[in-house]
Amino acid sequence: MKAPLGHTLVIRPGALGDGVLTLPALHALRLAGAASTTVLGSPARWGFLRTAHEAPRVRDFSSAEWLGLCADGAPFGAAARATLARTNSAVVYLHGDTRTVEQALRSAGVQQVLVADPPRLVCTEPRPCGERTGKTGGVHAARRLLEPLVPWVGAENADAALAAKTLSDDVFLALDEMETARALERLGYEAPPRGGFVAVHPGSGGRRKCWPAGNYARLVAALAARGLTPLVFFGPADEETRVEFEAEVQPAVTWECVACRPLREVLALVSCVRGFIGNDAGVTHLAARACPVVALFGPTDPAVWTPLGKRVTVLQAAGGDLGKLSVEAVAEAAAACMQRAGG
């Protein structure tokens, strides 16, 4: 008989989107009786989580505290030792040879260790004949992360955790009124304007996954012409895209720049918009938890990487070339998505 999960350690470094897609696995552990959870990753990239007691604590996987996981003979820091002393179970989402990590966890007294190879990003290359390469098998990344947990959590809990939740129902993400009010106040608003906000994120971790910045500039103009106030988000890695966008956007267009904001603030703002348009990127995955989303896909496979949400529309560019996706098609999809959502 399997031992109780107790306090569970989840090792999941990676980008923002990796963390958002791991949420169902964390929910499945909670549903199966995990008393509490610590995530080892990048605290900045897991900054979308609530700080309430139901939500996982996040610790820095790259810090010297946890060097003992990866380096033979290296000691753990005091805080890491304290966490491990109360950890019953550990889930290791790492690529490559994980034997050192597994042995370190068992030596530290962790009773149950599960090692799972996380999904890998595979970009397809357009061919002259229009065929695509780099097939990934079509299993969604969130399900890939959940499947190894089924012996621990049960198939019923895994399926329940994978079902899209509304933001207010998600104990790991739910916002309070003050968070939303403060986010709006930083933009100079007490409430969304009469026409409403629409959110746009032109960036991504990979340039090939980005719809051209000039197209986003023309889209923002089209959305503003409909009486919407565009919120244009830029992250720390989007500086080049931001320069290109600002060079292309028409001076007469009114839009709000939302640059390098904390992820809880980003979540609060997208919870106030009528719709969101973005590339296959972490912010798009986060937004899908809070509002209607149009996700633009080029070289990555939507069957694997579609954002999880109740109101997600996917547009995939022909042959994986985002340059072939027209502004008109994206604007029409955004309008239809908002209309279906009652926006």
- Render pLDDT for 82-105 as a digit per residue (tens, 0 to 9): 999 999 999 999 999 999 999 999
Q: What is the pLDDT of residue 138?
A: 84
Q: What is the pLDDT of residue 4?
A: 87
Among 292, 284, 294, 286, CA closest to 267: 286
d(CA 154, CA 12) in angstroms, rounded, equals 21
Residue 133 neighbours by CB under 8 Å, 6+ apart: 124, 125, 127
Q: What is the pLDDT of residue 137?
A: 58
Per domain, the residue ranges of the chain are: 7-165, 177-340
Q: What is the pLDDT of residue 331?
A: 97
| Average pLDDT of the chain, as a whole number | 92
Q: What is the pLDDT of residue 169?
A: 87
> Any idea which architecture 7-165 has in CATH?
3-Layer(aba) Sandwich (3.40)
d(CA 21, CA 41) in angstroms, rounded, equals 14
Superfamily of domain 177-340: Glycogen Phosphorylase B; (3.40.50.2000)
Among 203, 187, 214, CA closest to 323: 214
Residue 27 neighbours by CB under 8 Å, 6+ apart: 160, 161, 172
Amino acid present at 167 = L
H-type alpha helices, 114-226: 141-146, 150-153, 155-162, 177-187, 213-225
d(CA 39, CA 60) in angstroms, rounded, equals 8
Residue stretches of the chain with pLDDT short of 70:
1-2, 122-137, 164, 343
Question: Taking the complete model, does pTM exceed 0.75, yes or no?
Answer: yes
Tell me how crowded residue 247 is: count the other CB atoms within 10 A of its CB. 10
Same fold, 7-165 and 177-340: yes
Q: What is the pLDDT of residue 343?
A: 55
